[in-house]
Structures are given as structure tokens and as C-alpha cells.
Amino acid sequence: MTRPLVECIPNFSEGSRSEVIEAIVTAIRRAAAVHILDTSSDPDHNRTVVTLVGSPEDVERAMFAGIKTAADLIDLTQHSGEHPRLGATDVVPFVPIRDVKMADCIAIAQRLGERVGRELNIPVYLYESAAAHPDRENLANLRSTTFQYEQLKDVIATDPGRMPDFGPAELGSAGATVIGARPPLVAYNVYLNTSDMRIAHQIARAIRHSSGGLRFVKAAGFLVEGQAQVSMNLTHYQKTPVYRVVELIRREAARYGVSVVFSELIGLAPEEFFVAAARWYLQLDRFEPDQILEYRIQAAEAKGPALAGEEPPVPEEATQNVVTLERHVTPADFVDAVADGTATPGGGAVAALAGALSAALASMVARLTVGKKRYADVEETMQAIVAAASDLRARLLAAVDEDIQAFEAVMEAYRLPKDNPDRPDAIQAALIHAADVPQNVARLALDAMQLAEQVAVQGNTNAASDAAMAGLMGLAAVEGAALNVRVNAANLDDPALAMRYEHNVAALVERARAVRDTVVTTAEQRAGIARQ
């Protein structure tokens, strides 16, 4: 069952000091189980935009922590940048994404605004759909290039039109914060091949709605890294699509003898934003969204089990002369097959399975960490480990069959008549493949061990022993696979190639042993069972 999702795109007035940006983002992560999707910083604007999603409750809690940290670390009296700003946390919009209504986002904005004003003594203004006054719906009415922190500080206590919705009518070093609720928008910038900022101002004036331009476009001109920039918010990209905006900018730029050099997104944009542009520029008049491969796959998966979980039937003729491990065997079946007295499955297949088990244990520890508030700051890392471990597990399980097939190929080559002129080359080719397969297993197993190291250091301490076991199992896979490489390489006619295999696996084993030591030591320390 999916959970309701709210997006929040806070803008912080810091774009240069990486330690401050990291502290703010870390505070957001640690406060609640939210996902940080993007962080975009600009030193010229001296501004950072963070994109996060989560449940309504988690996003609200995370944003309070972010605002508090920004207030502690950013001093507006010492701040300067191209972008207009009112506060350390300048703007905080909430956007409904899934199973959430605009009314829910308005309620979040109101609750957060009241708490920020009461607990942090920061003046708060509500805007867009959350605005308590009609003249505050448009952010430009609250803040502009000519009305920023310095101007607000002079009038906040005396001008009734500038009285905050929450908090004190006085401005400290953290400034004021604008909090609201709105539909999705796209922050989009276009750079011109000129350093004349006046041209950017004129183009911005021509395209923005407030001065007679396109309906759902807000725009201003800036100088960024010596280039004139037209900075925009596209507030309804479906009704005023980006290609229309870009073409108007190009026409206006041509009037001044300049052109567009490149453009950029700030933060994220919905998929349909890009699809609309591609459809228009490529003149795909008959284009239908389900022509996109990923859309078609999603539609297929919605009708039944995920495609990744199924395998299509294999034509019978495709399996002839191929020795393979039967799918969906139980652990006992595999153990019995190993013990059966046949040459396959043997040590190489067991090494591959050990590697798969190492990846599986790393995935298990990561999954036991995801969603735990105590480990919110490593949520994204654990999610990435789950994905990486799943890929490794699948590749190592496939290597079980690959090892069996490689060994059978060697046997088939040796069974060729000795007077067959192709026999020596066939044997050498089969031996090389039989060395390549376990060498790849060793590399994959080392990758699994490195995931085990990460979960041992950052994962759920209650599963620390499982992280250690992942490291131990991974080492068994690396060393077992390396032994198989050496056995096959020893029979190669090319001594230089054989030596290369020897050096490669020796390096893999050395690294694996070092990772094993780190994993086990760390796991023992975190589990409280370290040896004295």
C-alpha cells in the first residue's frame, strides 16, 4: 500500500559554504523519514534549493528542523547574493503529490508557520494557496529585487501591510520566512552569450506575466558567473509550456543581437515537462505517451506480477545440450546436487552462491534499517544498498549456472578426439572462459562485501551480526572463486595470461580480507561483543 506523499522545496539563503548546506540537509534527514531527492546550490545567487518528499507529518517535522538549523547558521546581516531574499530559510512551499489534497498542504503551512513564529521567533508570511490575504498570494508582492531583508527590517514594525501572519513584528539575523502551498512548478534558467545584465532584465520583462508577457511565467534578469541569465519560475507548465517560453526568449534575444547559450533546471521537474518539449521540437504530432518504453513496461507490470519477477518461457530447442541448475530448487536440493558425486555443481557454483548470500544479507540489514527514525540520516544510502545488493544477488545467482556451463564446456573440449586439429584451441578457449567466470564471481562478491561494510558501519545495530556474516560469506566466495581461477589458469598455454589471472585474483583476495576484517570488527563493536 502506498503512503500519501507531499513534496517540499525549501530555498535557503546559502550557496557557498558547503558545511552549512550539509548541516541543514542533515538536520532535515535526521528529523523524520523523508527522502532528499535533490540539492542544488548556486554561489552567485548564494542560494540552495532542496527537494524532499515524505508523508505530510514527516515533511512538516523535517522542515521545522531545517528552518531551525538555517536560523542558527545563516546571518542575513552578513549575506549578499544575486537572488532576492527575506530570510535564512527564504521560501518553503508544500506541494501535494500523491493521495494528498491542496487543503492538506495549506494546513501544513499554517501549522508550521505558527510553530516557527512561536518557537523560533521568526516572522512568517503565508503565500500562494495558503495566503491569509489576497495580496500575498503572489510571492513577488512579498519579496522582489527592490524589497528584501534590508527593506523589510525598516518597515515590519510600522507598516500594517507588512505585518507577519505569525511571529514577531521584528526582524533578527534569520530574517523572515515565507511558507505556503502550491501546485508543482518548474524553476528554469536560460543563459545568454552576453555579460550585459540589462538585456536579461529586458527579456525577463518581456516574457513575465506581471509586465504583459506569458500567463504562467515569473522571470527576472541576473548576472551569474559573468553571463546574463533569465531566471524563471514556470508556475503552470501545462498551460504555458517550456518550448513556448524558450522560443519567445530566443526572439527577444535576437532583437539585442544575442542568443541562448544553454539552460538549466533548478531542482526537479515532472516527466511530462520534458515529454511536451520533445513532442513539440521533434514535431511528433501523432505521438502517444504509451510509446515511451518505460510507460509501456509500467502498464504491463500493473496488470500482473513485476516483469523482473518473472521469466518468459524458453523454447525447448534453446535448452538442448545445456546443463543448468533447475529454477526454484530448495536449499536442500542444491546441497544434495553438490553432494551427489557428479562434477557439477561444484566449488565454483558454491562460491557464486556464497557471494549471492553475502549480497542477500547486506540487503537484509539495509531493509531492516530503512524506515527507522533512528537511522533517518542514512535512509537514502540504505535504499541504494538494497538496489545494488539486489542486482549483485541476481548476477551471482546467474553465475551459479554460468560456472556449471563453463566447466561442462571444458570437459566437452577435452572429450574431442585427440587428432582433431581444433582440439587445442577449443581447450584453451574453454579454460579462459572457465577462468573468467569465477574471476567475475570474485569481483562481484567483493562488491557484496563492500555493501556489507557499509551496513556494518551505518545499518541497524540489531542486525550487526548479520552484516558480519555477510562479510564472512563474501570472503568465502572471493577466495573460493579465486582458487578456481588459478586452477584453470594453470593449464593455459600462455604464461603471461596465466600470470595476469594470478595477479588479478591475488589482489581481489587481499582486498577482500581487509574488508572482512573491517566488517567483523565494526559489527562486533556495534553489537557490544568486541574482544578485549
Taking alpha carbons only, the member of 148, 213, 144 closest to residue 176 is 148
Catalytic residue among 35, 45, 79, 83: 83
- Sequence letter at residue 258: V
Q: Which residues pair with 96 in a beta bridge?
A: 6
pLDDT at 285: 83
Contacts of 357 (CB under 8 A, 6+ apart): 470, 473
Cβ distance 36 to 87 under 8 Å? no
Tens of pLDDT, residue by residue over 474-487, are 999 999 999 999 99
Tens of pLDDT, residue by residue over 382-423, are 998 998 898 899 999 999 989 999 998 989 999 999 999 999
The tens-digit pLDDT sequence of the chain (532 residues) is 467 999 999 999 999 999 999 999 999 999 998 999 889 898 989 999 999 999 999 999 999 999 999 999 999 999 999 899 999 999 999 999 989 999 999 999 999 999 999 999 999 999 999 999 999 999 989 999 899 999 999 999 999 999 999 999 999 999 999 999 998 889 999 999 999 999 999 999 999 999 999 999 999 999 988 899 999 999 888 899 999 999 999 999 999 999 999 999 987 888 889 998 999 999 988 888 778 887 777 777 666 554 544 444 444 444 444 344 444 456 777 787 888 777 778 889 999 999 999 999 999 999 999 888 888 888 888 998 998 898 899 999 999 989 999 998 989 999 999 999 999 999 999 999 999 999 999 999 999 999 999 999 999 999 999 999 999 999 999 999 999 999 999 999 999 999 999 999 999 999 999 999 999 999 999 888 877 6
Residue 64: strand, helix, or coil:
helix
Q: What angle do CA 160, 162, 163 make, to 5 degrees?
A: 70
pLDDT at 315: 47
Residue 401: burial class (beta carbons within 10 Å; 0-12, 13-18, 19+): buried
Compute the chain's Rg from CA coordinates.
30
Annotated catalytic, 236?
no
Cβ distance 62 to 243 under 8 Å? no
pLDDT at 270: 84
Contacts of 215 (CB under 8 A, 6+ apart): 209, 236, 239, 240
Which domains occur in the chain, in start order? Answer: 5-181 (3.30.990.10), 186-296 (3.30.70.670), 326-527 (1.20.120.680)
pLDDT at 330: 66
Residue 39: strand, helix, or coil:
strand
Residue 457: burial class (beta carbons within 10 Å; 0-12, 13-18, 19+): middle
pLDDT at 316: 46
pLDDT at 91: 97
**Can you give the pTM of this predicted structure?**
0.52
The cell numbers describing 453, all together, are 561494510
pLDDT at 304: 54
